[in-house]
Structure 1
Amino acid sequence: MRFGILPRSLAGRTILMLLAGFMLVQILGLGVHTVTQVKLARIEQQREIATQDVIIYRHIAATPPAQRAEAMASEPIPSGDSITLSDTPPPPTTTFQLPLPARQIIRASIIGYGIPMQLRPHGLELRGIGHQLRYVISFALPDGAPLMDRSGTPALPTPKGVPPQVPPHIWLTITSPITTPHPWRSPEFGAAFIVMTVLGAIMIFWAVRQLLVPVKTLAQAAERLGRDVANAPDLPETGPEELVTAAIAFNTMASRIRRFVEDRTFMLTAIGHDLRTPITRLKLRAEYMEDDEQRVKMLADLDEMEAMVAATLAFGRDVTNSEAATRIDLPSLLRTILDEAGDGAPDQADSLAYQGPDHLAIKARPLSLKRALVNLVNNALKYGDAARITLIPKDAGMVNITIEDNGPGIPNSHIETVFEPFRRLETSRNRETGGSGLGLSIARNIIRAHGGDILLQNAANGGLKVSVTLPV
């Protein structure tokens, strides 16, 4: 068995595709936002490091050379930072030059902090250490005085080639760890993503449902038209321009179908009505026939023709029936039909039975529904010598009526063809009963006009089982 990824309904597919697109846009937007936040966080980190380093530099530069060792030892520095004094900045072999934007931000922060003229460094190196991810900021002290230990002797040797009277530069190097910003790990990031996703899903779900309401309305109107052409209401011609155009087209189509059915039915009933007069004349002429055997045969044929004409007129009335629907008690109607059938065939009264609830209200056209059920019960009695009715309430606002008989049943190949007008099964039905072949066709038309349907099935233990489904 193959399982589709897409939902079966149009609403489900539309919602799924819109949600997928929304999630993609959401992820891309949050990705761009994250990159921007990481960039801003790095800039802010560079400014903070430059500010804290320039504070340390001002303190060390303002301290007399003889006391700088103690000042460095007591200097409060952030965790992970380190301070060193050397005669040269860190060599390029162990460091790398920071990108230009980073150098510009750090340099601007140092200059913008406001260092007094006498403390301004004679040099500034901005580098980084790749394997440890650290910023390395080196300041050349303005006085060039060597670092003295506590005994007062230089702690750093004088570089070779530098005259003793020219003080060498002393470099204050501060290294600070580079922390990688992770804005997506913050609770606000996840909360914002969840809130936007939920709100977007709710809006998409609501919008799709609203947009597909006209589609459902059109489907329901088409279903009503297919079941009851004569009484199906028109679609309201309101709403957006496209919906109005579709409603007008549907109503025009329904009107044409209704007019076609009415014209065909009117023609059929008119022909049937007009045939009554010649049939009556033929009956009168047959009465004067001298051959008794031929007269009897002629009158039998004319009686059959008259019955067919009467059935045709009844069929036309049922197709164009405009009886109003009302609430009726279905069990009472079924019991009444069985009682009347028993009165008409006393010898078969014992084969009539009802099983089901005592009361069950449904909305129906009483006369039309009774005519359809009477046809089914009479067929069961005529061809199956029994009519056992079972009424079972079903889910989804439907009820099921089953009518079972003891007859030979119907060949499976003719289960549907028996519903065609004037269709009779010569091998399974007795022609002497006078049937015209319209009973099941009329019954199905009536039941479908009520929003239900009729199905035939051969019972396992013999006989025919008729299932009638009706809405409550």
Structure 2
Amino acid sequence: MKLCLLPRSLARRTIVFLLVGFAFIQMLGLLVHTVNQMSLERMVDEQEFATRAAIIYRHIALAQPSDRAMVAAREPVPKDDTVSLTLSPPLDGTMRMPLPMAETVRAGIFTYGIPPNLRPRGIMLRVAAHPFRLIVSFGLPDGLFFPMPPPMPDGGPTPDGAPPDMMWPPPAQLLPPLMWLTVTTELHPPAPWRSPGFATAFIVMMLLGGIVITLAVRQLLVPVKTLAAAAELFGRDVVNAKPLPEVGPSEIVTAARAFNTMAARIRRFVEDRTFLLTAIGHDLRTPITRLKLRAEYMDDDEQRAKMLADLDEMEAMVAATLAFGKDITTTEPLARLDLASLLRTIVDETADMDPDHAAALDYQGPQHLPINARPLALKRALSNLITNAMKYGDAARVTLHAPVKGTVRIDIEDEGPGIPSEEMERVFEPFRRLETSRNRETGGSGLGLSIARNIVRAHGGDILLENETKGLRVTVTLPV
């Protein structure tokens, strides 16, 4: 047995396909958004680090050269940052900072705004791995400019453009050639998908998308369901089936128009065939009547009786043919009727026609059961079934069951010999009679069961035959 995980319904299958595609698109879109957000967050982290490094550099550069180590040690920095003063920038285990990252860090440093007199003598940008770190090394000023509260009397000349509180110290007070301030930070990879917002956004978009997709698919499949219902109704009742409305999108209008055209052609074919059948039956009445009149003048009584019997049988067949054609083309409207009362009426009428076997007729079921049906047609079908049960099975036990899932069931049981299983379907064919009659006396024209099934199926039901231990059971199902 082949396992199919897809739902059988076209609507559900379409919804599943669209939801899977929508989820894939959403995941792809969120992935692109996440990568972009990670890049932006990394850039923001780099700029913030560059600004912090510039602030630290300014604090230390403004300090007395002899106090810079103490200021660096006391500088408040985040837990992932480190500050150190060395004679040379750290190069071991590091590599040159990639150009895009270096441009971001350099822009962050100079955006902060370092005064010209505090400009570093050099900046070195490096990165290290395991863990990933950013390293910025500043070449500190060599002590040529530093703030002093009062001007020293033995100080050197003030350089042009220098503030009044800045002095040019004598050569004896120069500091060592160069000191490097190194600021390091550890960058943690951003993980926006771990935040509640990521999952919330995905769930909300999937819910809203699922609702929109479900409503759209159901709306799109309404014409398909309408077409299926129209085809089902047309298959049950060719004459009374209404045409499909030719409205909606162009594709739906085209399909509805094609269906209506097909239905009209089939209806015309059935009507033509029925008209031909009834016309032949009607035209046969006149010669049959003439033959009966001529038979009355025959001298041989035995031959006259045989001929009249044959003519009576032919006349009965013609009448059945006309009735069959009339039933096919009848357009009786639906009406609300009491099925229980209808069955009791048929049972009583059948008993009146055969008083000797009235005891073999029985009805069991509710007192009232309203349904929508065509009263005259349904009465004819049920009367035919009950009459057949009495004629060929010597009994008719009629049982009306309560509706189950919108369907009512009628059982008609007799006490006859039953029907061979291979003949169950043949008895419903027009003009088809069993080769071996269910009784010694062969009767009927072979149209009764065909007419009954056509009527019941036109109501949306069906007729089934089933042999029991003693007799035949005819089951009629009808929609409520």
Superposition TM-score, scaled by structure 1 size: 0.93
Q: Tell me the distance in 2 between the aligned counterparts of 1:389 and 1:189.
A: 68
C-alpha deviation, 1:433, in angstroms: 4.6
Whether 2:189 is the aligned partner of 1:190: answer no
1:57 maps to 57
C-alpha deviation, 1:144, in angstroms: 5.9
C-alpha deviation, 1:428, in angstroms: 3.6
Letter in 2 for 1:390: T
Q: Which moved more, 1:117-126 or 1:326-335?
A: 117-126
Asked if the contact 1:410–1:458 (Cα under 8 Å) also holds between the matched residues in 2, the reply is yes
1:357-391 Cα offsets, whole Å, 9 max, x none, are 21111011111000000000011111111111122
2:248 maps to 239
1:129-153 Cα offsets, whole Å, 9 max, x none, are 20121111111101269xxxxxxxx
> 2:446 is matched with which residue: 424, 433, 437?
437
2:112 maps to 113
Asked if the contact 1:144–1:170 (Cα under 8 Å) also holds between the matched residues in 2, the reply is no
Identity %: 65
Asked if the contact 1:380–1:386 (Cα under 8 Å) also holds between the matched residues in 2, the reply is yes
Q: Tell me the distance in 1 between the aligned counterparts of 2:394 and 2:3.
A: 48
Whether 2:472 is the aligned partner of 1:464: answer yes
Q: CA RMSD in A?
A: 1.6
Letter in 1 for 2:371: I
C-alpha deviation, 1:431, in angstroms: 6.8
Query: Which secondary structure state, in structure 1, belongs to the residue aligned with residue 402 of structure 2?
Result: strand
Asked if the contact 1:304–1:434 (Cα under 8 Å) also holds between the matched residues in 2, the reply is no
Query: Which secondary structure state, in structure 2, belongs to the residue aligned with residue 137 of structure 1?
Result: strand
> 2:325 is matched with which residue: 302, 316, 319?
316
Q: Tell me the distance in 1 between the aligned counterparts of 2:403 and 2:126.
A: 82
Query: Which secondary structure state, in structure 1, belongs to the residue aligned with residue 131 of structure 2?
Result: coil
1:277-301 Cα offsets, whole Å, 9 max, x none, are 1111111222222222222211111
Cα 1:303–1:432 change in 2 (3 A) is: farther
Q: Tell me the distance in 1 between the aligned counterparts of 2:4 and 2:404.
A: 28
1:388 maps to 397
What are the residue-to-residue correspondences of 1:34-433 with 2, within 5 Å? 34-91=34-91, 93-143=92-142, 167-430=176-439, 432-433=441-442
Letter in 2 for 1:105: T
2:6 maps to 6
1:80-125 Cα offsets, whole Å, 9 max, x none, are 221111101012x311222110011001110111001111111111
Cα 1:390–1:447 change in 2 (3 A) is: same
2:162 maps to none
Q: Which moved more, 1:429-438 or 1:376-385?
A: 429-438
C-alpha deviation, 1:355, in angstroms: 1.9
Cα 1:42–1:365 change in 2 (3 A) is: same
1:32 maps to 32
Q: Tell me the distance in 2 between the aligned counterparts of 1:119 and 1:446.
A: 106
Cα 1:383–1:144 change in 2 (3 A) is: farther
Whether 2:22 is the aligned partner of 1:22: answer yes
Q: Tell me the distance in 2 between the aligned counterparts of 1:360 and 1:22.
A: 50
Q: Tell me the distance in 2 between the aligned counterparts of 1:400 and 1:7.
A: 31
> 2:464 is matched with which residue: 452, 455, 460?
455
Aligned pair count reads 452
> What residue ranges of structure 1 are gaps of 5+ in the alignment?
146-163
Superposition TM-score, scaled by structure 2 size: 0.91
2:158 maps to none
Q: Tell me the distance in 2 between the aligned counterparts of 1:429 and 1:304.
A: 19
Q: Tell me the distance in 2 between the aligned counterparts of 1:428 and 1:34.
A: 83
Q: Tell me the distance in 2 between the aligned counterparts of 1:440 and 1:11.
A: 39
1:296-326 Cα offsets, whole Å, 9 max, x none, are 2111111111111111111111111111211
Query: Which secondary structure state, in structure 1, belongs to the residue aligned with residue 125 of structure 2?
Result: strand
Query: Which secondary structure state, in structure 2, belongs to the residue aligned with residue 294 of structure 1?
Result: helix
Asked if the contact 2:69–2:85 (Cα under 8 Å) also holds between the matched residues in 1, the reply is no
Letter in 1 for 2:211: I
> What residue ranges of structure 2 are gaps of 5+ in the alignment?
145-172
Letter in 2 for 1:471: P
Q: Which moved more, 1:245-254 or 1:116-125?
A: 245-254
1:219-271 Cα offsets, whole Å, 9 max, x none, are 11111111111111111122222222222222122111111111111111111
C-alpha deviation, 1:73, in angstroms: 2.3
Letter in 2 for 1:119: L
